[in-house]
């Protein structure tokens, strides 16, 4: 009897670990043809469909710059929502998720586009997205690249290189930045970290000079829109460079109400109209000053993720 009890107990334990197969297995549904998936905009694809699209795009287009443009344009019309992503459920300081296909803001759009262009599958895309979005790929609100100039651009030097000073020339303008990450994390995310204040000098191309240097921009380059208010400057918006039908340089970006592609002249003109409509200094005193441009690197070597530390109490 004792042996029988042990055998029964073992069977129960094994059953908990590996449930029995269903008596009548259902045949898996036939996969959606890739031709059907290609008819959809990317923001209406499911993760499974997006993974197949990423694999197809990688096989169909060997040139990384062209893949970036194609994937970015596949999201034209994607609705815009500001402050879209967070760390949920990895962290619970808010309930915002680690990725979104159906909506974007400017940073989310650029990060997703780069990550998909560098990947061959959904799993690789999700890994690449976190590698781009976080310092050393370590997921957490304190390691997220919050500040464009001093976090995103620096952490992703393996992907893009700042060429703003070269484009602007020796007499080009610049601005000083002071970043207090500890204060930002505590006031915005209720997260306490001992991070020293950082200062930096940043170069940019004034809006009046963009037309003169536009021919030097390449497809897939990263764009920082530089705004100014009360003497301060900062990157208020980001996007990507793509080539128009005749080789003209276009700005592909996510902004209210949706992802769009337009010339830099058109973007500058819209900013001027908005500033005029809202008063001489623009809404809240904010005005367009110019752009920073970061060159997509030729030989990209993706660094490994740093080890994800065990969270503390």
For the segment 262-274, the average pLDDT, to the nearest whole number, is 96
Report the range of poorest mean pLDDT among 184-193, 222-231, 290-299: 184-193
pLDDT 10s digits, 18-35: 776 666 667 777 888 999
Q: Over 70: is that where the pLDDT of 313 sits?
A: no
CA distance 268 to 88: 36
Percent share of the chain, pLDDT over 70: 91
Mean pLDDT for the chain? 92
Assess whether pLDDT exceeds 80 at residue 234.
Answer: yes
pLDDT at 122 over 90: yes
**What pLDDT was estimated at residue 57?**
98
Q: Please, which pLDDT band fits residue 279 given cuts at 50, 70 and 90?
A: confident
Instruction: Tell me which residue range forms the domain holding 185.
Output: 46-296
Whether the pLDDT of residue 10 is over 60: the answer is no
What is the C-alpha separation between 170 and 187, in angstroms, rounded? 39
Distance (Å, rounded) from C-alpha 292 to C-alpha 221? 10
CB 68 within 8 A of CB 220: yes
Residue 71 lies in a domain: yes
Q: Which helix (H) or strand (E) is 261 found in, with range?
A: strand 258-263
**pLDDT value of residue 278:** 82
The confidence score (pLDDT) of residue 8 equals 46
> Is position 77 within any domain?
yes
**Measured distance CA(10)–CA(14) in Å, rounded:** 6
Provide mean pLDDT across the span 217-240: 97
Q: Say if residues 173 and 183 touch (Cβ distance below 8 Å).
A: no
190 lies in some domain: yes
pLDDT surpassing 60 at residue 4: no
With tokens 């980001």, the residue in question is 238
Considering its fold, how many domains does the chain have in total? 1
Of 273 and 31, more confident: 273
Check residues 32 and 284 and name the one with the higher pLDDT: 32
Strands 287-296 and 174-179: unpaired
**CATH number of the domain to which 265 belongs:** 1.10.3670.10
Q: Is the pLDDT reported for residue 114 higher than 80?
A: yes
**d(C-alpha 149, C-alpha 132), whole Å:** 14
Q: How far apart are CA 122 and CA 116, in angstroms?
A: 8
- Kindly state whether residue 302 falls inside one of the protein's structural domains: no
171 inside domain: yes
Find out whether 149 and 202 touch, Cβ atoms under 8 Å: yes
Is the distance from CB of 37 to CB of 45 less than 8 angstroms?
yes
Q: How far apart are CA 164 and CA 224, in angstroms?
A: 10
| Rounded (10°) angle between helices 47-60 and 64-73 | 140
Residue 159 token pair: 């992907």
Instruction: Classify residue 222: in a domain, yes or no.
Output: yes
Average pLDDT over every residue of 137-159: 97
Q: How far apart are CA 229 and CA 283, in angstroms?
A: 10
Over residues 251-255, mean pLDDT: 98
Asked whether residue 62 is assigned to any structural domain, the reply reads: yes
CA distances from 137 to 89, 219, 308 (A): 17, 25, 8
> How confident is the model at residue 285, as a pLDDT?
83
């Amino acid at each position: 009897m004792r042996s029988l009890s042990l055998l029964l107990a073992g069977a129960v334990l094994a059953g908990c670990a590996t449930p029995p197969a269903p008596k009548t297995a259902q045949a898996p549904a036939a996969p959606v043809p890739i031709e059907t998936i290609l008819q959809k905009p990317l923001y209406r694809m499911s993760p499974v469909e997006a993974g197949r699209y990423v694999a197809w795009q990688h096989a169909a287009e060997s040139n990384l710059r062209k893949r970036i443009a194609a994937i970015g344009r596949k999201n034209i019309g994607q609705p815009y929502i500001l402050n879209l992503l967070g760390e949920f459920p990895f962290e619970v300081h808010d309930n915002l998720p680690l990725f979104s296909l159906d909506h974007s803001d400017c940073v989310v759009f650029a990060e997703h586009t780069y990550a998909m262009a560098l990947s061959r599958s959904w799993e690789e895309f999700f890994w690449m997205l976190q590698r781009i979005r976080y310092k050393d790929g370590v997921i957490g609100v304190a390691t997220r690249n919050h500040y464009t100039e001093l976090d995103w651009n620096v952490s992703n030097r393996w992907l893009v290189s700042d060429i703003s000073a070269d484009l602007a020339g020796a007499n080009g303008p610049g601005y000083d930045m002071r970043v207090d990450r500890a204060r930002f994390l505590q006031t915005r995310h209720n997260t306490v970290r001992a991070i020293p204040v950082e200062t930096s000098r940043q170069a940019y191309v004034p809006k009046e000079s963009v037309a003169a240097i536009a021919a030097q921009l390449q497809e897939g380059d990263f764009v920082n829109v530089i705004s100014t208010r009360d003497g301060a400057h900062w990157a208020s918006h980001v996007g990507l460079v793509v080539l128009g039908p005749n080789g003209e340089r276009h700005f592909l970006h996510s902004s209210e109400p949706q992802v769009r592609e337009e010339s830099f002249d058109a973007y500058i003109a819209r900013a001027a109209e908005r500033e005029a409509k809202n008063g001489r200094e623009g809404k809240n005193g904010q005005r367009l000053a110019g752009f920073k441009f970061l060159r997509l690197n030729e030989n990209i070597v993706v660094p490994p993720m740093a080890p994800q530390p065990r969270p503390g109490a």
